[in-house]
């Protein structure tokens, strides 16, 4: 599996997992966009005095095994939190295997309950009974914040008052990850018109990295939304053999207009992004601790 990483320039020689106790690791934030075929799974890794791990989405039921292996390979034997942006199978399907194979301290989602809202798919019944009865379960809406070392996750969507739309995707959780000046917007399966509504309700949604909503489908974001995010890099989590034709040529064309470099899990495999507090990022061929291989560097700031 090819691995592309975007890595802080100055910190490549410091290893988190193997750092001796008397050497404080240089604080870093890694975002691992795991290739799960159809679906999303993003591992957020804080490297610092106390390592911390949050998994945003878990892939589909078939690739849950791969996500579990990846988490362990990255160095985690437990997760501080698993966040399910919305309970669709390509985002929540890996949770069963992961949460039964390693300790997951908290599970959060957007509170959506399709089973009780008239969708008879048994997956939703199993999902809600697996997650909602846990003491450490929480439904998150806009305004909630979650610490990740010196970084922070802020939930930007769905709004506390809800968002009326026939599709769950319109209420997918959207998360802004901040570390110093660095910002990454994880858009889950957000679709229009919710994306434009989000852009109009939040004063600043600009981000260095955008995880494209809804696998880069045509409805993944209007020009208004994308121009306000103004990403340098867009990551599309998509299956090479999906039946939906994702990502759409229209969405990719919009990415060109906003000047973003597009990375895709179907072509690039696992994508690892390492961020500096300054906002500086660079792209390397391998996991940051496994050796050199810088592909591309972005200067600090925007």
Residue (76 or 194) nearer to Zn ion, CB? 194
The strand ranges marked E within the chain are 3-6, 28-33, 42-47, 52-56, 78-79, 81-84, 103-104, 107-109, 137-139, 145-148, 151-157, 174-179, 182-186, 209-211, 233-236, 261-264, 270-275, 281-284, 294-298
Pick the closer one to Zn ion by CB: 30 or 92.
92
**Strand pairing of 42-47 and 3-6?**
unpaired
- Residues that bind Zn ion (rule: CB under 5 A) add up to a total of 2
Q: What is the per-residue DSSP string for 208-246? A: SEEE-GGGG-TTS--HHHHHHH--SEEEE---TT-TT-P
Phi, psi of 139 (to 5 degrees): -90, 135
CB of 281 to Zn ion, least distance (A): 25
Beta strands in 150-215 (DSSP E): 151-157, 174-179, 182-186, 209-211
User: Which region among 52-60, 187-195, 269-277, 281-289 touches Zn ion (by CB under 5 A)?
Assistant: 187-195
User: What sign does the CA torsion over 168, 171, 172, 173 have?
Assistant: negative
Only one of the segments 120-128, 186-194, 245-253, 293-301 lies at the binding site for Zn ion (rule: CB under 5 A); that segment is 186-194
CB of 31 to Zn ion, least distance (A): 18
C-beta of 189 vs 268, nearer to Zn ion: 189
- What minimum distance in Å lies between the beta carbon of 289 and Zn ion? 30
Instruction: Name the segment binding Zn ion (CB under 5 A); options: 2-10, 79-87, 138-146, 182-190.
Output: 182-190
Going by their DSSP bridges, the two strands 281-284 and 294-298 should be labelled as antiparallel
**Contact call for residue 219 and Zn ion (CB under 5 A):** no
- Work out how close the CB of 162 gets to Zn ion at its nearest, in angstroms, rounded to a whole number: 20
Cβ closer to Zn ion: 219 or 274? 219
> Binding segment for Zn ion among 11-19, 136-144, 189-197, 259-267 (CB under 5 A)?
189-197
Measured from the CB atom, the residue of 217 and 263 that comes closer to Zn ion is 217
Q: What's the closest the beta carbon of residue 39 comes to Zn ion, in angstroms?
A: 6
Task: Find the part of the chain contacting Zn ion (CB under 5 A) among 83-91, 248-256, 261-269, 279-287.
Answer: 83-91
90 binds Zn ion (CB under 5 A): yes
Residue 68, helix vs strand vs coil: helix
111-121 burial: b if 16+ Cβ within 10 Å, else e? bbbbbeeeeee
Distance CA 196, CA 89 (A): 25
Query: Closer to Zn ion at the Cβ: 93 or 149?
Result: 93
Cα separation, 215 vs 71, whole angstroms: 22
Shortest distance, position 23 Cβ to Zn ion, whole Å: 41
Among 112, 189, 192, 219, binds Zn ion (CB under 5 A): 189
Backbone angles phi, psi at 122, to 5 degrees: -60, -25
Site for Zn ion in 197-216 (CB under 5 A): none
Q: Does 270 bind Zn ion (CB under 5 A)?
A: no
- Residue placing its CB nearer to Zn ion in the complex, 127 or 298: 127
**Footprint of Zn ion on this chain (CB under 5 A)?**
90, 189
């Amino acid at each position: 599996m090819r691995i592309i990483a975007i890595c802080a320039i100055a910190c490549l020689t410091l290893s988190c997992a193997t750092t001796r106790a008397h050497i404080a690791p240089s604080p870093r934030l890694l975002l691992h966009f795991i290739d799960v075929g159809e679906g999303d799974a993003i591992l957020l890794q804080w490297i610092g005095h106390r390592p911390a791990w949050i998994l945003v989405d878990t892939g589909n039921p078939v690739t849950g095994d791969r996500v579990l292996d990846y988490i362990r390979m990255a160095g985690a034997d437990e997760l501080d939190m698993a966040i399910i942006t919305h309970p669709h199978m390509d985002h929540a399907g890996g949770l069963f295997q992961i949460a039964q194979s390693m300790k997951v301290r908290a599970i959060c989602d957007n509170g959506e309950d399709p089973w009780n809202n008239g969708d008879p798919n048994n997956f939703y019944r199993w999902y809600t009974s697996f997650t909602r009865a846990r003491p450490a379960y929480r439904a998150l809406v806009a305004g909630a914040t979650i610490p990740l070392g010196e970084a922070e996750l802020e939930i930007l969507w769905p709004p506390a008052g809800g968002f009326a739309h026939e599709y769950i995707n319109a209420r997918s959780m959207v998360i802004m990850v901040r570390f110093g000046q660095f910002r990454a917007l994880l858009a889950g399966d957000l679709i229009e018109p919710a994306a434009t509504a989000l852009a109009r309700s939040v004063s600043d949604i600009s981000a260095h990295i955008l995880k494209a909503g809804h696998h880069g489908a045509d409805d993944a974001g209007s020009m208004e939304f994308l121009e306000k995010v103004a990403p340098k890099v867009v990551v599309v989590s998509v299956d090479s053999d999906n039946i939906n034709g994702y990502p759409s040529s229209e969405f990719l064309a919009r990415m060109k207009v906003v000047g973003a470099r597009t990375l895709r899990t179907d072509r690039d495999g696992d994508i690892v992004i390492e961020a500096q507090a300054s906002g500086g990022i660079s792209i390397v061929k391998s996991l940051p601790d496994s050796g050199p291989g810088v592909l591309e560097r972005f200067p600090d700031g925007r």
